[in-house]
Amino acid sequence: MEMALDAELLAELRARVPALGAPLVVRSSSPLEGEGRWAGAFTSYVDITPGQIEVAVRGCWASVYSRDVLERCENEGIDPASLRLAVLIQPMIDFEAGGAARASADDVVHVTATSGSPAELMTGWVAGEEILVDPKSTVPVTGTRVIGAQPLIDVADLTRHSRKLLGEDLIEWGYATKFGVVLLQCKRTAAIAQSAAVALPTAARESPEAIAAIRLAQLVRRFPGWLGEEVILPWAILVADDSIPDDVERVKIAPAEAREDARILARRIVAHAWGLPGERAYRTAMQAVEAVRSGKPGEALLERIVRGTVIDRKQVARLVALLRAAEYGAATPGRDRWEPFIFATAHAYGERRPAASVVEGIGAGRARFVDVAEAAPAEFDRRVLIVQQPLNTFAPLLWNAAGLVTVGGGAGAHLMEIARSLAVPTVMRCRLDDLIENGADNFLLGVDGNEGSVSVLPLRG
């Protein structure tokens, strides 16, 4: 911000800008913004006078070095120094309404509208009004609370034309009586691959089937990753969770040595838990884990899981400590084979809470409540993020998120667009105050972006 503009450029701006009138909009512009994951990344300014142009241009360029942009660059493998940010200066329109609109494959247009400028809706501070315009553009003759019938039809037509002519199905728009509906931006939304949930038997929360599935779902998120699956699950499926600690004193040992020691100790514990020798015990244990994961455990296995067994607590604590040492400094794993199972378990046996669907798909994992914009933590499992409002500053956290749940806000926010581009299942307007108050980390969430719901299970017990 302390860098002065090139003298020749500054002179040209001072000569040309007054002809545009006042007030002005000074907007950042980058080819990256054609991708949803860069929505709202760079700064733009509204209600600018000609005398403020130099500062506004510097501000647009400086936004390349914001924490948000730098973290997005890191996630995308882009060198920030390679970014070339243009600035667009144009007359400002005093909009009566504005928002976003998206055309779906069946020609239904999903419109989000707010009174006045759409800026606060895009940045997540206001929710706006959600309106569906069918393929025949049938809308109430009086329009809606925010915008009249004809402007609403015009928004839908503009969205469909954008998709037909440019292949871009998402627009940002504004409306003023003098100009009608104005196109502000358009882009193509990402296609989202659907994940299939595991089919679990319909049973009561206290049934052996439910107890087995819930215990396994809890374990795979308390001890995520391939090593946790190898050294914890084979015996822990038979053990009550209150005998397995999460927090242990760190063992000062090299990760490679910790992995080897963990495998050796785990085999001894597995043999004791199943009452079988060596490799036979391990094979039996892994078959049992797979039977529960596939929703097909036999009665004998269920009886054994419910009955449980007792393991030496010191050995358990030592094994957990070795696992943590082996994980130290390791990269955060991506989506794994357990997420569909965790979703199915939460969906079948958890508490279902209503929400409004934004991004389709299913996702599941431990919850994480975020209320302050901060660097993404080095966590070893993918979380379901909970935020009060869908603010742009939370964008970097979405790159390895299993799902997104907002308490407030609207579907037109840039954060929702980013979630869609990253295929993060998303719902909004879901009440999770009790989870936030009691520590969101203590719960598993299953996000259903297709039907619009969140299923809640405790992480322990």
- Name the token pair of 259: 């992995």
Q: Is the pLDDT reported for residue 97 higher than 90?
A: yes
- Name the token pair of 411: 């579907």
Identity (one letter) of the amino acid at 419?
A: A
Residue 330: predicted pLDDT = 62
The pLDDT of 346-357, averaged and rounded, is 93
Buried/exposed code over 81-103 (b: 16+ C-beta within 10 A; e: otherwise): eebebebebeebbebbbbbbbbb
Q: Mind listing the pLDDT tens digit for each residue in 4-24?
A: 899 999 999 999 999 999 899
Residue 334: predicted pLDDT = 62
Cα distance between residue 293 and residue 217, in whole Å: 9
Domain ranges of the chain: 7-91, 97-187, 226-327, 339-458
Cα distance between residue 106 and residue 85, in whole Å: 36
Give DSSP secondary structure letters for 380-431: SS-EEEEESS--GGGGGGGGG-SEEEESS--TTSHHHHHHHHTT--EEES--
Buried/exposed code over 5-38 (b: 16+ C-beta within 10 A; e: otherwise): beeeeeeebeeebeeeeeebbbbbebebbebbbb
- Name the token pair of 149: 């019938």
- CATH superfamily of the domain spanning 339-458: Phosphohistidine domain (3.50.30.10)
The three state secondary structure string of 118-173 is CHHHHCCCCCCEEEEECCCCCCCCCCCCCCCHHHHHHHHHHHHHHHHHHCCCEEEE
CA 37 to each of CA 55, 68, 110, 403: distance values in angstroms, whole numbers, following the listed order: 27, 12, 20, 15
Residue 195: predicted pLDDT = 59
Domain 97-187 fold is D-amino Acid Aminotransferase; Chain A, domain 1 (3.30.470)
Q: pTM for this one?
A: 0.78
Under a CB-based contact definition with an 8 Å cutoff, are residues 146 and 121 in contact?
Answer: no
Under a CB-based contact definition with an 8 Å cutoff, are residues 50 and 79 in contact?
Answer: no
Which residue carries 């296995």 as its tokens? 301
Residue 120: predicted pLDDT = 85
Q: Mind listing the pLDDT tens digit for each residue in 134-175?
A: 888 888 777 788 888 899 999 999 999 999 999 888 999 999
Q: Mind listing the pLDDT tens digit for each residue in 176-200?
A: 999 999 999 888 876 665 556 666 7
* Secondary structure class of 71 (helix, strand, coil): helix
Nearest to 364 by CA among 388, 352, 382: 382
CB atoms within 10 A of CB 407: 18
Q: Mind listing the pLDDT tens digit for each residue in 202-222?
A: 767 789 999 999 999 999 999
Residue 331: predicted pLDDT = 58
Cα distance between residue 214 and residue 350, in whole Å: 9
